[in-house]
Amino acid sequence: MDTTLQDPLIGQLLDGRYRVEARIAVGGMATVYRAVDTRLDRVLALKVMHPTLAADGTFVDRFIREAKSVARLAHPNVVQVFDQGTDGSYVYLAMEYVAGCTLRDVLRERGALQPRAALDILEPVLAALGAAHRAGFVHRDMKPENVLIGDDGRVKVADFGLVRSVDAATATTGTVLGTVSYLAPEQIEHGTADARVDVYACGVVLFEMLTGGKPHAGQTPAQVLYKHIHDDVPPPSARVPGLAYELDELVATATARNADVRPYDAVALLARVREARAALSEAQLDAVPPQATSAEHDNAEDRTSVIPRSLTVPRPLPVNEDHADHAGYADGAAEPAGFRHTSRLAATPPPPPRRRTPRQRRATLTVIAAVLLVFGLGTGVWYINSGQFTEVPRVLGQSEAEARDRLTEAGLDVGEVKHAFSDAYERGTVMGTDPEPGHRIRQNDAVGITVSDGPETVRVPDLQGMALDRAKDLLKEEGLEPGMVTREFHATVAKGSVVRSEPTGGTERRAGSAVALVVSKGSPVDVPDVTGEELESARALLQEAGLEVKVAAERVNSQLEAGQVASQSPGDGTRVAEGDTVTLTLSKGPRMIEVPDVVGDSVDDARGTLEGAGFQVKEDRGILGLFGDTVDDQSVKGGESAPEGSTITLTIR
């Protein structure tokens, strides 16, 4: 079922101007829609804060700050913000609409990218961030979800919702705002954020583009945060052998845990990127990564979150020498190694060492002697058996023939050969052994190998003309996922049925890939102009055009007579689908206004007073008033009421 149909904003006219057409994305703080600016007749993106947050002044201020900040950036790689406003409980930003996808979509679909493609995306991202840094503020939430790639190849940075002035890089308490997988160590430990946190996040994004996966993973956010603080981001070549040394250096420089070692802003990192590109050969730039899609993706890690500092700041736990094991850490998850022993934020200095007694020293020497004895005995046992055991050699990624030769050279037999699909290993290469590589087994034992048949592929079915729900079900039956649904007018395909899929039917795709669907809105209908018509007449005209009619509950004052159509939405000339609804707002007649008394005033003063009150003015001079300049009488006496916009006649003498 198309979930966008359940969204109450779909089809509504926000702030009397923006007609909401479809939901594009949902985040932790706002939802983004595709909408039409009915005033300027252009498609744009509408970012609407969740109503539950709209009552929070802090989040509303952040929304407004985003609009003001991006308005200062006239840069081709920054998504522009056109307008900001409120409509009831809805707080929104009207932004540039970029038809295409996000970098997250690309990584999810393709996995690791060629170095040339990764740098081609990173450079415009850094150019956009560099403009922001030089303008005086920091993005603070860089991640693949905020990198938009247009159908025309343009790369743009979006979502400056957490933007903060560079001068405001002071420590915060209580919470940290951001996305767990891309937070710099100083954000986690101290809550500080200057331009170098964006540099760090871009380094993580580059690692993800080159390898198809994130550098740090964990069962809980606390474990990921701990790794950001205590573990270096590994070199990309550790995951994708063969990547150039310059790329490892680039990632290491950008993700240095010590912020002082990183480039000071995105402009400086961009210069490093261009130096690295110049040092790479064409073959290194076009190195083909393993055919692997990104690792199992947890959307929760990629949402912008308010992270309690209790998760971000490691705290030393008391160690009882008799009961040194702890059941869990924070939320009950296993405690990361080292958490209970060290903390860079420990406030209390360690106690001074105690002087040992002679008995304690003797006990220590006894323990050391015992350890040495065990070590010597163990060494002897290993030496005696070293001729009978060997390790399973590392043959993953080698061809089946190469793996057989390597196993034979190691004195091992080749056991059962299995085949399986794999996104990570090319067809015909070894993707697994039994026992695993490095396992010690007796010589002449057999090692089973599993050979990759390459990625499992399925054929996209022909979905044209099929009802949307049925098309989605069929994709799932074939091992594919329904992707983004967009709608367009079509003269021959029935409303609600599939016009085409992307990729088209018959195309081979990896199992689990997403297939985008374009659904018919039916034949287009030009909305007729029914303003000024009586309700029944307007209803008949709209129904004759194939449209449904809805009458707004409230009427408005207008120059039209009561009961006539004062306004309609969508307006005259708008193209909609057959069966769409047009909302009519009826007039309750003009507003009655008290007429000012202008008798005795000069003609100019009287005219100004009446027109300012909302009336039209007509002069009656007659023969005696041809050269007069004083109001002798008025058609509606001062203090009486008359319809707004009606004409008051002045007699001049």
pLDDT of residue 437: 83
- Res 148 pLDDT > 90: yes
pLDDT category of residue 388 using cuts at 50, 70 and 90: low
The answer to whether the 100-319+329-344 and 457-520 domains have the same CATH topology is: no
| Fold classification of 389-452 (topology level) | Trypsin Inhibitor V; Chain A (3.30.10)
Phi, psi of 150 (to 5 degrees): -75, 160
CA distance 139 to 141: 6
**CA 537/CA 527 separation, integer angstroms:** 15
Q: What is the dihedral of CA 594, 595, 599, 603, to 10 degrees?
A: 140
Q: Higher confidence at residue 409 or residue 59?
A: 409
Contact assessment for residue 606 and residue 619, using Cβ atoms and an 8 Å cutoff: no
The answer, yes or no, to whether residue 59 has pLDDT greater than 50, is: yes
Catalytic residue among 2, 41, 120, 141: 141
User: Looking at the DSSP assignment, which residues form a beta bridge with residue 308?
Assistant: 175
Q: Give pLDDT, residue 161.
A: 54
Instruction: Express each pLDDT in 227-268 by its tens digit.
Output: 888 888 999 998 998 999 999 999 999 999 998 889 999 999
User: Given a cut of 70, is residue 314 above it in pLDDT?
Assistant: no
CB 208 within 8 A of CB 214: yes
Task: Give 635's DSSP letter.
Answer: S
pLDDT, mean of residues 365-377? 37
Average pLDDT along the chain:
79
Mean pLDDT of 46-62: 80
Fold for the domain defined by 592-652: Trypsin Inhibitor V; Chain A (3.30.10)
Q: pLDDT at residue 422 above 90?
A: no
How far apart are alpha carbons 71 and 95 in whole angstroms? 10
Q: Judge whether residue 383 has pLDDT over 70.
A: no
**Reported confidence tier of residue 629, pLDDT bands at 50, 70, 90:** confident
Q: What is the CA radius of gyration of the chain?
A: 35
pLDDT classification of 66: cutoffs 50, 70, 90: low
pLDDT, tens only, 325-361: 322 222 323 333 333 232 333 333 333 444 444 444 4
Q: How many CB atoms lie within 10 A of CB 459?
A: 13
Share in percent of the chain as helix, strand, coil (round to 5): 30, 25, 40
Percent of the chain past pLDDT 70, that is, above it, reads: 80
Residue 386 has pLDDT above 70, yes or no: no
For the domain spanning 457-520, the CATH number is 3.30.10.20
331 annotated active-site: no
In CATH, which of 1.10.10.10, 3.60.20.10, 1.10.510.10, 3.40.50.11540 is domain 100-319+329-344? 1.10.510.10
- Per CATH, the number for 1-97 is 3.30.200.20
Architecture of domain 524-586: 2-Layer Sandwich (3.30)
484 has pLDDT over 80: yes
When mean pLDDT is compared across 19-23, 381-385, 450-454, 621-625, the lowest value belongs to 381-385
* Ordered DSSP codes for 361-393: HHHHHHHHHHHHHHHHHHHHHHHHHTTTEEEPP
- CA–CA gap between residue 20 and residue 23 (Å, rounded): 8
Question: What b/e readout covers 272-289, taking b as 16+ CB neighbours within 10 angstroms?
Answer: bbeebbeebeeebbebeb
% of residues, the chain, pLDDT over 90 = 39
Instruction: Give the tens place of pLDDT for each residue, 276-304.
Output: 999 999 999 988 877 544 444 444 455 55
Task: Note the pLDDT of residue 302.
Answer: 53
The pLDDT assigned to 356 comes to: 44
Say what the pLDDT of residue 605 is.
94
| Residue pair 277/108 in contact by the 8 Å Cβ criterion | no
Going from N- to C-terminal start, the domains of the chain cover 1-97, 100-319+329-344, 389-452, 457-520, 524-586, 592-652
pLDDT, position 366: 39
Q: Which of 169-178, 396-405, 620-629 has the highest mean pLDDT?
A: 396-405
Q: How many CB atoms lie within 10 A of CB 123?
A: 16
CB 12 within 8 A of CB 18: no
Q: Which of 90-99, 215-224, 338-347, 393-402 has the lowest mean pLDDT?
A: 338-347
What confidence score (pLDDT) does residue 381 get?
Answer: 31
Q: Which amino acid is at 568?
A: Q
Under 8 Å between Cβ of 111 and 289: yes
